[in-house]
Amino acid sequence: MGYFIDCGCATMNKHGEELCGDRVQVISIGEDRVLVLADGMGSGVKANILSTMTSRILTTMIAEGANIEECVRTIMEALPVCRERGMNYCTFTIVYIRPTGTGIIYEYDNPSVILWKGGKCCDPESTQIQIEGKTLNRSEFRLRSGDAIVVMSDGVLFAGPNEVMNYDWQRPQIMQYLERSIRPGMSAMALSALLAGACMDLYCGVPGDDTTVAVVSLKRPHAVSVLIGPPVDRNREMEHVHHFMEEGDSHIVCGGTTSELVATYLDKELVLQPTTGFRTVPPYSTLEGIELVTEGALTIDYVVKLAQRHLDPWALGLKRYNGNNGAEKMAELLFEKATDITMFIGKTVNNAHAGTVADSGRKRKNVEKLCQLLRDMGKNVVEIYH
């Protein structure tokens, strides 16, 4: 069985610019994944157009089966050249990775990627190649579970206040920061936001350049099953709970009636944890044999908000979910740990909740929205309605 490939990015525009001159594109080719980070020269509209064109041409050609070096040659021919500097108007990094953990990297004038292997940062072993008279770095790699590739635009280097290059923040310092800050199991989105957030701090909130961090990481597959709501057919309740329990490595149960069904099936005591509530998120319960038991509608509503923030490349705060409440615990399991998610969704309608936040229609829409957000994270999501 291959690894799960996790991709994420975080970015910030140069201060005063509405558009970012950096562009990240991620595509899947079967089980393989390709990430391209393109950095247009300068900033603003022109840089945005160049980086968008570069990333889309590269990913489209690779998706259609073209050899990567052919793709690079095509883009080198297509990109205009700055007369004053004698260089292409856009730089780029391509990462092609397979579920086996093997892959290849091509870099043209972007800062060299950082490999996170075995809990330490290291440089890729690269060779220089010539394409259309331009020098590129080419690297082959092999990663294992927990390893990652950190890709960055040049706004990450020398990040400092007032557009002054910070020579105390260069590649060695970035590596030291990552080694101090990366925690085991951190998602690609969380890792990219971690480094981009540090750059924002160094810029004192006023970025002097477009700044982007993209991360590709590997995880061992971990399946999570989520049971939300009882089935329509009351005579088949235990059958559906049995199906739910048979699926997945970890299990989450949402909703009061649903949790009582599971407790009956397991013949275990359901214990409410009264001190675990948080703002509008009710307390969760504990049940032997189940990783997490939460309230239904309000908790899911909050998890959707957390998922939207998790996916936002401009949300640079630490994306950690260690709060003592059901929503953050669910987020940690679904966003950080899970690779494959099966959602068992009951279609029973509770008329007593009509017109409230727990309304069955609203809850169903939130569940569907959460499923799509999880797919946007790259998770393999299956919905089973009963």
What tens digit of pLDDT does each residue of 10-26 get?
A: 999 999 999 999 999 99
pLDDT recorded at residue 190? 94
Tokens of 176: 């030291």
Quote the CA–CA distance of 142 and 99 in Å, as a whole number: 10
112: burial class by Cβ within 10 Å (0-12, 13-18, 19+)? middle
pLDDT tens string, the chain, 386 residues long: the values are 689 999 999 999 999 999 999 999 999 999 999 999 999 888 889 889 989 999 999 999 999 988 888 888 888 787 766 665 555 578 999 999 999 999 999 999 999 999 999 999 999 999 999 887 888 999 999 999 999 999 999 999 988 886 666 778 899 999 999 999 999 889 999 999 999 999 999 999 999 999 999 999 999 999 999 999 998 888 889 999 999 999 999 999 999 999 999 999 999 999 999 999 888 899 999 999 999 999 999 999 999 999 999 999 998 877 888 889 999 999 999 999 999 999 999 987 665 454 555 556 778 899 999 999 999 999 999 999 98
Give the 3-state secondary structure of residue 222: coil
Contact 273, 286 (CB under 8 A): yes
Domain ranges in the chain are 4-219, 223-385
Q: List, in sequence order, every residue forming a beta bridge with 344; answer none if it has no partner.
A: 227, 384
Distances (CA, A) of 165 to 38, 154, 206: 22, 11, 13
Tokens of 163: 């557009």
Quote the CA–CA distance of 105 and 167 in Å, as a whole number: 27
Distances (CA, A) of 319 to 30, 42, 67, 312: 29, 30, 36, 11
pLDDT recorded at residue 144? 95
Give the 3-state secondary structure of residue 296: coil
Quote the CA–CA distance of 69 and 134 in Å, as a whole number: 12
Return all residues near 14 (Cβ < 8 A) that are at least 6 apart: 20, 21, 43, 44, 155, 207, 208, 209, 210
The fold for domain 4-219 equals Phosphatase 2c; domain 1 (3.60.40)
Return all residues near 296 (Cβ < 8 A) that are at least 6 apart: 228, 229, 254, 255, 256, 258, 358, 363
Residue in 297, 268, 271, 269 with CA at minimum distance from that of residue 282: 297
